[in-house]
Amino acid sequence: MPEMTYRDALNLALKEEMRRDPSVVTWGEDVALYEGSFKVTRGLLAEFGEERVKDTPISENTIIGVAIGAAMGGLRPVAELMTVNFALLAMDQLINHMGKIRYMFGGQINLPMVVRAPGGGGSQLAAQHSQSLETYFMHAPGFYLALPATPADAKGLLKSAIRDNNPVIFLEHELLYNSKGEVPDDPEFLVPLGSAEVKRPGKDVTIVAYSRMTVLALQAAAVLEKEGISCEVVDLRSLKPLDTPTFVDSVKRTGRAVVVEECWQTAGLGGHIASLIYEQCFDLLLAPVQRVSGLDVPMPYSRKLEKLCIPQVEDIVKAVKETLTAKY
């Protein structure tokens, strides 16, 4: 399999799906002439033309609203938001329309659309541009939510999202765009939505993570392996649908769990994951579930302070060691 960056894997997925299906279109701020803020849409305008690749006004509410109408009319739009932080300006369209139209129409129409958005912290972009908002979308019904951690999963999940008849919010961590990995060049390579994956087998503790935190979890597992601690790393990949059986089965085998999330801890996804583990693994748990989360503060601009607000490898290592020594 060829090796490529996360960015190029997404680009390849878009090109393959637009070549396969003429109803697939893409639009957003600077996606055509400028080829996207992170160059994910590089080469699309040249290959597919301005009828299928369009620059839009700086209006997130409009970008999503037009995509909803296009999907209802038979197209398969991929709408790009320059950053997930700007999705807050389109929450009415996302939550009240995209998430509810199929339900309110009694399932008589499909809504095959994807909303792509980069996000996450660690780039010194300060409080308004460094947020992880997945729990906002996790809370609202009516659409799927995918957060790939590797280039292969980025390609396979995006292709599945474009082909699905349900709306999908597809979140890409900004610090992953330059990461590299092997990616199948098969145009029919798909990663099913709602399927978690055990990225690393282990026997002492289960680390449940997603997006960039999966990468850090794997790094932490490598550090702990040198100390004789065997960590199983489960990458959720999708938050809706949530593949609960995969991480629950893992915790049943190891008896211990650490949940890692970049978003704020209060009402965060980690609490939901922990509750599912307690509900389904309580009698088999050897220690309380540990949570590693972002701090409940607006993101500072200072690099040193920013690092303190986002989970790091050493934080995951510490949590694993704590759960190994803790007892009920």
Tokens coding 53: 């690749």
Q: Sign of dihedral through CA atoms 178, 179, 182, 185?
A: negative
Beta strand extents in 141-196 (DSSP E only)? 144-146, 168-173, 180-182
CA distance 252 to 257: 9
CA distance 196 to 211: 12
In terms of Cα–Cα distance, which of 85, 57, 66, 86 is closest to 25? 66
CA distance 294 to 299: 10
Q: 28 to each of 80, 98, 267, how far by Cα in Å?
A: 5, 17, 31
Collapsing DSSP states into helix, strand and coil, what is residue 200? strand
- Active-site positions? 60, 129
Collapsing DSSP states into helix, strand and coil, what is residue 295? coil
Beta strand extents in 210-281 (DSSP E only)? 231-235, 238-240, 257-264
Q: End-to-end CA distance of the chain: give it in Å, rounded.
A: 46
CA distance 323 to 307: 23
Place of tokens 């009694």: 106
